[in-house]
Structure 1
Amino acid sequence: MLKDSQELLVTTDSPDAIAAINRFIDQALFYGKDAEIAILQAITADPTCALAHAYAAAYYLSQENKIAWQQAQPHLQTAQKNSAKITNREQLYVQAILAWANKEIDVAIALHEEITNKFPQDLISVQQGQYHYFYLGDKERLLQIAQKVLPANPEHHYLYGMVAFGLEQCHQLAAAEAMARKATAMNRYNPWAHHAVAHVLETQGRVEEGIAWMESFADTWDNCNSMLYTHNWWHVALYYLERGDIEKVLSLYDIHIWGCANKRSPKDQVGAISLLLRLELRGVNVGSRWQEISAYLYPRIHEHALPFQDLHYVYAIAKAGFTNWVNQMLHSIEQHALSVNPFLRQGWIEVAIPAARGMVAHAKGDFNTAITQLKPVLPRLHEIGGSHAQRVLFKQVYQDALLLAEKQNWIYGITA
């Protein structure tokens, strides 16, 4: 056995495998574009390393799409096959990723909590625990799982970025900003800490500071994966949108957001969709951009990886005019909700389905139906996941429906 960069034992005798695992850990915490390469190099160096295969499976599962889920399966099988004599931490981690693959998110979370209780240096497990809490809308535990390991990692700037984001989500804005700025002072290359400050400044309406802050670090994002690269630029675009500089927002969309997206990546698609919708709510004609995105969305119709993603997809394809796709997707969501793991089922049935119907109604100009479907779920939107900045979009759609329905009803009333 050898130790990784976190001073944790890994069941391998290959120094090359450990070196590659260390690169993967750094890439994962940085949201780097070479995480997949690094972990596959570890597997090449030691094909029997269960932890490396579990890391690879986790990487693919985090892509939240059907193809990547299929890519994860052989790695999970190999990890299980080689798990008889691995350490307790590695066994817990393999079980956590297997639970994730089986959509047993409550089981996965419990295992990540156990890992971080016993092995608080394991920041990959902290990061993945936060990921699950994020998409369950559990902001308190998103913060707690990172905060509790601070004493064991007193000078770890990546952890400070994780804690900062949790603090922001829990509305502890001053503490979040201080923690994220400290992380960035320790290491300028910490895009998640940049992101945490962006959230604080946006929430407080500090638009000019937000632009200056994010643009001063934009050069450090070139080695990020497309998700965080496009997402951080998305935050920059929100500042310019608040400023009313529509031309700049469209330029950022075309160059840094959809222009630099991995166009088959769900998270990149969601970011682009949400920005187009925000522009349209401001009365901007976005041209053929809905059709351009929707061309990539057909594989998403029956995927249902996350309800947060589905609400964006179904809106985009409705705006693009693909009525048959919309009907297929709404029916598919309903079927999925009946078969999904019981831990997740209530959120799908009681929040995601009416929200999806409401989003489609808004896209089609049926504002009264949009109001009827969206109003009851507004207090529960956190259950579909996403950040405050992302979820506020659905409230904006509802408010827009209220205004347009009133106008529509008045016109119809006059003509009647």
Structure 2
Amino acid sequence: MLKDARGSDVTTDNPVAVAAIDRMVDHWLGYGQGATAIFEGIAADPRCVLAQTQGAVLNLFMESAAGRRAAQPYLAKARLHADKASRREQLYLFAVEAWAKGDADLAIRLHTEIAAQWPRDLGNVKLAQYHQFNRGDAAGMLALIEAVMAQNRDDPHAHGMRAFALEECHRLRDAEIAGRFAVELRRREPWAHHAVAHVMETEGRIDEGIDWLEAHAETWDDCNSFMLTHNWWHLALFHLDRDDTAHVLGLYDQRIWGVWKEYSQDQVNAVATLWRLEMRGVDVGARWHDVAHHIAGRESDHVEPFLDLHYLYALARAGLETQAARFLASLEDHAAQARRHCRRAWGDVALPLARGILDHARGRFEAAAEAIGPLLPRLAQIGGSHAQRDLFVQTFIDSGLRARRGTALSPLLADRARRRPTVAQHFRDLGRLARIEGAMARAADADHRAEALARSYAA
């Protein structure tokens, strides 16, 4: 038996297998491109339970039906030797098996048990946070990383993980401090760059956000496609807040879309960018067609509700009505058969939200507003970050304004302008709402505020 880089036992006598496990975990935590090294470890010792389990993990991260199928042989081989593995390795195998079966709650419980006994195993904590994030459990993300911080004070990954959890729990000042400290420990810490960007986006600190991300962008070149495209996506959000839609289109074409078009998260970043641009009145040309082409085969995936909503919208905006109808029908079947612990997320939130965004994509704005509005308080259940889920809030606002249904919008728009008073679009929306309500003086005030902000961007 050997030990990994974090001091945990690994049931193997082959140092190549341990080195491959270490390399995968390092690249998983740091969003590098070398996680496939785990397959070298599997080849070096096919009986190593942890290596086989990590091979399954890498396939499950494809977030697709094909990835779930590809994970099964690794889990089966790990099971063959599980009786000889350590307790940590057995619990980890059981957790990944639960994930493969769609039981994220069980996976989280098992990962939490591992964290309590082996707090230096940050790869385990990161995987638990992945599931908690997809379940909308920001408090759980924070509690888990807080519980192991004493043993990981010197690790920038731990501080980056804590920063993002703090941000998702609305503790913005603490999140920024934690994220900046992670970057002080190691400048190339893209998850911490990302967490601080979330804080700045939430507070409307547009120029600071651009400067922060651009100052660290050269450290992303060796990141995996998700982290690379996602951090550039965050930069695009700041430029969108600055009304610089031409810059956003340039980032889309050069940085956000095209790294790994087959990957779920790259597809989501692309869809979310085009969706936001169109709601700002930008003609995105034929860009929907390329994205939808790579999404069209995902009809039966249904891995996470958040992903499905982006896939469906892309199909509809590309004009692939037959595929969009099939996808919705498949989603309806999946929601009806979902496991008890996630049935509400799929059936009570994702499915009616899917119908609402499909109405928006097809220009049925009154129906879209009616469907989406009641779901806004429950969006966390479908996963995604606050910044990502704001897309659905924006879709509700866009639908309501286009349908001239202002009743439910007034407090929402006022709150958005109060929280991010540097963003001209919020005041434009308030102006549109005031005109719907016939309050012309209020409309003029909002329009003047928006125009003054727009001029400041150009200065």
**TM bracket (short chain):** over 0.9
Instruction: Name the counterpart of 2:111.
Output: 112
| Distance in 2 between residues matched to 1:4 and 1:258, nearest whole Å | 36
| Distance in 1 between residues matched to 2:309 and 2:280, nearest whole Å | 20
Instruction: Name the counterpart of 1:286.
Output: 284
| Distance in 2 between residues matched to 1:287 and 1:251, nearest whole Å | 13
Once the two structures are TM-superposed, the CA of residue 259 in structure 1 deviates from its matched residue by 2.9
Instruction: Name the counterpart of 2:245.
Output: 246
| Distance in 1 between residues matched to 2:98 and 2:370, nearest whole Å | 36
Q: 2:396 is matched with which residue: 386, 391, 398?
A: 398
Contact 2:366 2:405 in 1 (8 A): no
Instruction: Name the counterpart of 1:350.
Output: 348
| Distance in 2 between residues matched to 1:168 and 1:406, nearest whole Å | 34
After TM superposition, the structure 1 = structure 2 runs for residues 10-409 of structure 1, keeping only pairs within 5 Å, are 10-36=10-36, 38-260=37-259, 262-406=260-404
| Distance in 1 between residues matched to 2:390 and 2:3, nearest whole Å | 44
Instruction: Name the counterpart of 2:422.
Output: none
Q: Deviations over 1:316-354 (max 9, x none)?
A: 111111111111111111100121211111111100110
Once the two structures are TM-superposed, the CA of residue 407 in structure 1 deviates from its matched residue by 8.3
**Secondary structure of 2:32's match?**
coil
The code of the aligned residue for 2:261 comes to K
| Distance in 2 between residues matched to 1:402 and 1:346, nearest whole Å | 26
Change (3 A) 1:19 1:374: same
Task: Name the TM-score, length of structure 2 as normaliser.
Answer: 0.87
| Distance in 2 between residues matched to 1:205 and 1:367, nearest whole Å | 28
Instruction: Compare 92-101 and 24-33 and name the one that shifted more.
Output: 24-33
Instruction: Name the counterpart of 1:7.
Output: 7
Identity of aligned residues (%): 47
| Distance in 1 between residues matched to 2:46 and 2:284, nearest whole Å | 49
| Distance in 2 between residues matched to 1:280 and 1:65, nearest whole Å | 27
| Distance in 1 between residues matched to 2:323 and 2:121, nearest whole Å | 43
| Distance in 1 between residues matched to 2:405 and 2:31, nearest whole Å | 45
Contact 2:236 2:251 in 1 (8 A): yes
| Distance in 1 between residues matched to 2:70 and 2:223, nearest whole Å | 22
Q: Any gaps of 5 or more consecutive residues in structure 2?
A: 407-459
| Distance in 1 between residues matched to 2:258 and 2:367, nearest whole Å | 34
Once the two structures are TM-superposed, the CA of residue 142 in structure 1 deviates from its matched residue by 1.1
| Distance in 2 between residues matched to 1:393 and 1:7, nearest whole Å | 42
| Distance in 2 between residues matched to 1:25 and 1:404, nearest whole Å | 48
Once the two structures are TM-superposed, the CA of residue 17 in structure 1 deviates from its matched residue by 1.2
Q: Deviations over 1:93-130 (max 9, x none)?
A: 00000000000111101000100011111101100110
Once the two structures are TM-superposed, the CA of residue 314 in structure 1 deviates from its matched residue by 0.6
Cα RMSD for the two superposed structures:
1.1
The code of the aligned residue for 1:200 comes to V
| Distance in 1 between residues matched to 2:334 and 2:147, nearest whole Å | 36
Q: In the comparison of the two structures, how many residue pairs are matched?
A: 406
Once the two structures are TM-superposed, the CA of residue 62 in structure 1 deviates from its matched residue by 1.6
Q: Any gaps of 5 or more consecutive residues in structure 1?
A: 409-416
The code of the aligned residue for 1:32 comes to G
| Distance in 2 between residues matched to 1:326 and 1:297, nearest whole Å | 11
Once the two structures are TM-superposed, the CA of residue 82 in structure 1 deviates from its matched residue by 1.1
| Distance in 1 between residues matched to 2:77 and 2:187, nearest whole Å | 38
Contact 2:369 2:396 in 1 (8 A): yes
| Distance in 2 between residues matched to 1:59 and 1:351, nearest whole Å | 29
| Distance in 1 between residues matched to 2:405 and 2:174, nearest whole Å | 43
The code of the aligned residue for 2:32 comes to G
| Distance in 1 between residues matched to 2:19 and 2:301, nearest whole Å | 35
